[in-house]
Chains A and B, each alone.
Chain A
Amino acid sequence: MSAAGHIIVVPGQEITSVQGYLRGHGTYVEEGTDGGPPKLLACVAGVVERVNKLISVRPIKSRYIGEVGDLVVGRVTEVQSKRWSVEVGAHRSAVLMLSSVNLPGGQQRMRTYEDQLQMRSFFQEHDLISAEVQQVNSDGGIALHTRSLKYGKLENGQLVSVPPVLIRRLKQHVVSLPDTGVDVILGTNGNVWISRTPPEEWKGKEEGDAAGTGSVAPKAETLTRQRKQHAETVKSGALVTAGLRGYEQWPRQGYRTQLSLPPFYALRSST
């Protein structure tokens, strides 16, 4: 039991034996002994969450569990026939079907064999992409899509990984911080992408950029400036959070498990 009144359980511990509850994640049912009522037991260590009749146990640590509509930042691991395997930090790799990406020029047509052969021109192995979870099937497999201009290959930026449990689901996951001139993409799977806010003059060109591949600005200049900013972000998260402070004040607490940067707290949108 924690001080805040939450109930902490360990695997095998009985949560309740009263019937009439639905079991959620992190629990399982065991037949009652000696003809007693069936019991609900925890199967992970964590805190009990109850929503009406649904009892579930939120584990203390977990990999990313996908939900439809989540924005995730992941790395392409494989190029297979008609799909990409993307590592998003879930139990399994997510898949990005060829039919789920925007073709250059915004065409809407059936994907042909040539498209299949051209897959690498969209995304290659080790590319970092942002995408949205289209579908989660029953065995936990995640299907992604990048059918929007805001999704696509990510370049010229810095990736920071945090445990996914720290990123709350919000309305807006793509945030711009004007003070430091960086854009932050908060992937729900814990991958956070920090890049330079593209200057106004590039805005128009973006329309032309279909799948969000390729950068538009002269690279050298971008990189130099970006680099400075990246260096600042890497060196001290404080700088970025200082930037965030503009939006909201919230305390940063010490965090005992594995983490290389102080925790980022999910941003509340400015709206």
Chain B
Amino acid sequence: MHRNRAFFKKTRKGKILRVVSDHYLRDDIGCGSLAGKPVSNDNLVQLAQESVMKRFLVLDTNVVLNQMDLLENPSPALSCVVVLQTVMQEARHNNLSLFRRLKQLLKDDSRVFVFFANEHHCETFPEEIKGESPNDRNDRAIRIATSWFSKQFGDSIAVVLLTNDRANLSLAQDAKISAMTIHAYVESVRGQYPDLAELLAPEESSAAGDVSESNRGNPPQRRTGGQRVLLFEEHKPMSELTAGIRQGRYFQGALRAERSSSNRCYVVAQGMQDKERIAVYIRGAQCINRAVDGDIVAFELLPEAEWYSQGDTSGGATKEEKTPTGGEMEIPDNRPTENLVPDPTAQPAIEEIEKTKTLEGAGTRQPCGRVVGIIRRNWREKQYCGSLRVEGDRAVASGKGQSTSALFMPVDRKIPWVRIQTRQRDVLSTKRILVAMDSWPAWCKYPLGHYVKTLGEKGAKATETEVILLEHEIPHESFSGKVLACLPPEDWAITPENSEGRKDLRHLPVLSIDPPGCKDIDDALHARPLENGNLEVGVHIADVTHFVEAGSALDQEASSRSTSTYLVERRLDMLPGMLTETLCSLKPNVDRFAFSVIWEMTPAGVIVDVDFCKSIIHSVAGLTYNEAQLMLDDPNIQDVKAESVRRLNDLAKIFRKRRMDSGALTLASPEVRFVLDSESQNPTDVQMYALKETNALVEEFMLLANITVGKKILRHFPTLSVLRRHPSPSRQQFDGLLAIAQAVGIKLDVDNSKKLAQSLDRATREGDPYFNKLLRILSTRCMMPAQYFCSGEQSQEDWHHYGLAAPIYTHFTSPIRRYADVCVHRLLGAAIGVAPLPAFLMDKALLHNLTENMNRRHRSAQLAGRASVGLHTEMYFANNPTEEDAFVLSVDKTKLSVIVPRFGIEGTIELDAGDGTFDFDKQALKLVYVPPSSVGDVGQTSIQIMDKVRVFVDVVNNARHQGARMTLISPVMGVGEEVPVPEPAIPSGKRQRKTKGL
């Protein structure tokens, strides 16, 4: 049977289209399909009989959209569910990620979720009724399908429609269809399955929202006359928003919260006047108007009189609304794009945006605005980690099992607190939990959400690590069966058949140099003299693409993960262990497949020729950096390995000098290494990384290989190569650094990377070995992040890698832990004719998404690694509070931030002048404390940027601070906090190990 579907559709640009399409009705659908296979009436009856509840539930769209967490719970109360095609279509239209989750449920064999194509079944298709609204028509379709199912099953199995839509519910009941709200249903099974109620998202009307903060502790105020007091302005309807945007009254952009508070936000919008990007600040709860970081909002500009001037850092946040900043250990990163919400590309820093464009006549005032409506919420996709707010010692009396409301504080500071209903408030108060946000009505101070699951005890290492992984969206589940099925069998070995086409390089003295205990060896080197006096140098990389077939489940999983994540105590692999540690890893004394780059070069390092091939190698040694360094230091060691290492080192030094001369930068970061207790895996000591000559050796050859391969693939695939670029920082990004340098009397030239490198080399201070390193650390923070890109998307000038001073660069040498390298291996393989390029690497759109994903995952992995370091640092200091040297990174009127080089951590110290005063010298970046009773200069103390100070580090958990805390010991600046008397620095066995070696 045939019907016509005719409707009007609006495109993104606002055009109205009339769409006419076929709609066929069938009689061969049966009763739907289960996990892809069709089912008959009898099948379903049988399944229902076998279930506990002996009934089938039909879901309405609102239940699907609002209660997904509940539905995903594999409780027997929710077995035997029918999902109608109408509902799927509505869900898809509304929210793609919920739709995908629903689809996942339908594919899951362990649940009985039946998909029924009611729109195409001749008996359940709702014939058109003129003048019916689409919503009503869909509701009617759902009711028709439900009653059809009822008739099919007869009396044996009940069919219940679950809907929270009042109209649909009453119409269903009128039509003698058994129907109830999901809340009623959960309530009805509470005896058997009490946990389900926890997962329910609240119905909006029954939310026990706070009316105003002053009522905290009191029962929510009775509404007068049934009217709710609106705390926020209502959002404008979508039609008005689009009209306003088109007319230029409103603007659109993604809201971003500033790092430490959800009350200070900004939106980067397309220029109101010209096409430049302008940052508009939105501060204060009223202006933010219930928008959350990441939402796409429509906003309007406030009148100029209300704009904030630059430097007014505390604007907008009233005392009540300030969430306690708590001095939680800040992850040492002032990098411009530090955002937990993934950014598509490197966003310019706030400071940069400030200077990008100011409206004429605005002077130093920053444009400010107010949110008038939300175009798309970001929270649908996310679940937030955090814990409940425990209000001091005041335990709110709640009867056992009774549902009370609690405030949930996400670990991400950019997200506001969420109000949830829970019955297990006491139990949860010490735990880290996962919460999803549902809505934020205008009469609620906080957004409403619901509990999803518990992660573990707050403060426990495993829990906190899980929190880090979730917040950074790092995939950490074990590899699925499908992925593992793609691996070669356990007894896989190299045979002549499977090594066809490879060059046999097993006679070469290949060796690898890695950190001690390294199991995933990506790379190996060799160098040997040739007859003509030149040297043959080879870099051999694990041949991962031989084992990972393009497009397989394994490849897709690796592509999604995109990188291995290095936490302090463990490593989350991109590929299964069988590959990373056994088959691909270039372990010593075994034959292994490799992808080799072999140069012929003169002893002076001039490259004569280069060859790329797939090969078999046999590594003769897996050295550590230490062992290799010993070979360099001790001329008495004479064997093939030592000779190779020395040759490589000589060449590496030449290459390094060449790079430095052309402007490569040597930057620094305060990374440290933890010594973990072997049993508890808790940190017992922290040491700084010391780089040796051999580190530089390996680095140089990796860089050379990457550059060489980059050039090669670019030649063959000019528009499809996956490369890595590092955009040059703009002048503005250096402003902070230059101000600091000037304050301490150093002149830095930032015209180009070479001048910067040279002026950094010259910048030293007498008697202060850390000074130069500190300056380099600060320079690192001015840099833009490097990113992957597809060569067809950027013009050639933008391919440059600033930090390495290389015109072309890519990642080739670590395919075990980076997916970009896997792609480059495939490109190189196609370039040398070994294997054709898989189709998806030729699709520009897919490449774009791929590189974006790689950048995002790389960033997340970095941040997660640092967060893990932060976590371990905190754990260390909880057990070993100490007094340490620190250097001042920034100075302000009331606070300073310092870095402790020994631990590589940073912190902010608030200063309190007490009865004295502070004088802040902006030019010299110097803060002077004038004690109350001083005269002239007597008794004054001062701190200038980059000064060395003494601080005391410990961990506290009280109302004001949560986490690690630093207190200034000397020089004394004002009134300090009470600190426990620092222990005398008696070296205990473990604590004061000399920082030699790694």
A and B touch in the complex (CB under 8 A): no
